[in-house]
Structure 1
């Protein structure tokens, strides 16, 4: 009787263990599925947010580029005693010294940037009312006074990118190609000098071939005799 009871209890324990294992597996599976569903939702939201951030960054860069498109930055402008009105007059006179006609009303905004130090002058950002005036000034920038130079107004990101691309510009120019930077893009126009040289060689050889044929015709009496 006792053996039967022990056997029954053992079987009962085994059944309880199996049931407990099944329950544990079921609960674990349900929990893992719930976690996976939650993680998938979080991952999808994360991807969506990253894409939205990229879109916003692109829009901000575009707006910043549009905001700066009429700007030029003048370097070497002394700071002593130059109010906003004096700055406008100085820039106007400086631009006119290059041969470009300039009116004070063509400057919509003007301000200095960077930290002020004793031994250097802060650059001056000038916003023009028209972009063609900006391009005209850039075209004649070589006529600016020796101590003053001008550059386009770019964001820090674009300036850094241009610095990284500058060695490539110099390398392409060494190859004889036309290379320059447009915003933060490298533009390369392959040189056509080799093709031109080949054309010259072909054009030079053609007359020689014609002369040779003419000499053969003249020297051969059979070819010159119309009866043959």
Structure 2
């Protein structure tokens, strides 16, 4: 019986040892697999990071090239769409610049011109590429001449920049309400020296001044003031005349008294 118990105990120990070995093998296999997976993940992360860096660099290059390609562009809105070909379209643009902006421009200064979007019932914008950046800047500076007309000019920005500018415009308005002089340049907000002047307030003030000058009561007041000034000038002239007469009379009296005194001495 004891012999049987020893055999059973030995079998039990062997089973325990086998279980431990199996457990160790599992742990080793799991560790090896995890190490292998981690190593592969590390390699993949490095590759992904390098790819992201390259993509960002390429995106910056693309943005720069696109910005340079659009640098000499302007977009005209409201230019009549009656052309039948490229030459007519170019002539329409030249007439628009000459008539509305009073700028002398030649056909050789236009590198390329085309309509944007599909032809519909509304007038499509007109994309213009000038031969020189200086000419484009000169025309953009004189966009104020288009005020009150159906034509308007804007710079040509990529879609992502337009979206960014739209988001930043709200922030610009907030900064200006606080009195900060900020402007939106390309896709960034730039702070300028000095305080922001509220143009709307200034325009309202100018309107009030114009209305005030057109008021009949104010015109009457101006007339009365003008009459008063004329009266004061007349009074001033009269005062000067009387003053000169008094001086002349005084000199005459003095000369006559001197003559009398001389005659009395001679006698």
**What is the TM-score normalised by the length of structure 2?**
0.68
Q: Does 1:187 align with 2:190?
A: yes
State the SS of the aligned residue for 2:8. Answer: helix
Q: If each structure's helix is expressed as a fraction of its own residues, which one has the higher value?
A: 2
Counterpart for residue 45 of structure 2:
43
CA drift at 1:65: 0.3
Which residues of 2 match residues 13-28 of structure 1 at below 5 A? 13-28=15-30
CA distance 1:7–1:174, change in 2 (3 Å): closer
Rate the CA distance shift 1:62–1:52 in 2: closer, same or farther, 3 A: same
Higher relative contact order, chain-length normalized (CA < 8 Å, sep 6+): 1
> Secondary structure at the residue paired with 2:118?
coil
Aligned partner (choices 178, 181, 192) of residue 178 of structure 1: 181
Aligned partners of 2:96 and 2:82: how far apart in 1? 16
Hey, what does 2:137 align to over in structure 1?
135
> Which aligned pairs between 1:1-228 and structure 2 lie closer than 5 A?
1-97=3-99, 98-118=101-121, 120-144=122-146, 146-191=149-194
Question: For the residues of structure 2 that align with 1:16 and 1:171, how far apart are their CA atoms?
Answer: 75
| 8 Å Cα contact 1:176-1:191 kept in structure 2 | no
Radius of gyration: which is bigger? 2
Contact 1:172–1:188 (CA<8 Å) still a contact in 2? no
| Deviation (angstroms), 1:76 | 0.7
Matched residue count: 192
| 8 Å CA contact 2:79, 2:96 repeated in 1 | no
SS at match of 2:29: helix
Unaligned runs of at least 5 residues, structure 1: 194-228
Measure, in 2, the Cα distance between the counterparts of 1:192 and 1:186. Answer: 15
CA displacement at 1:96 relative to structure 2: 1.9
Query: 2 CA distance for matches of 1:163 and 1:114?
Result: 21
What is the CA–CA distance in structure 2 between the aligned matches of 1:173 and 1:166, rounded to whole Å? 11
What is the aligned-residue RMSD (CA, Å)? 1.7
Contact 2:83 2:92 in 1 (8 A): no
CA distance in 1, matches of 2:115, 2:128: 9
2:128 and 2:178 map into 1 onto residues whose CA distance is: 37
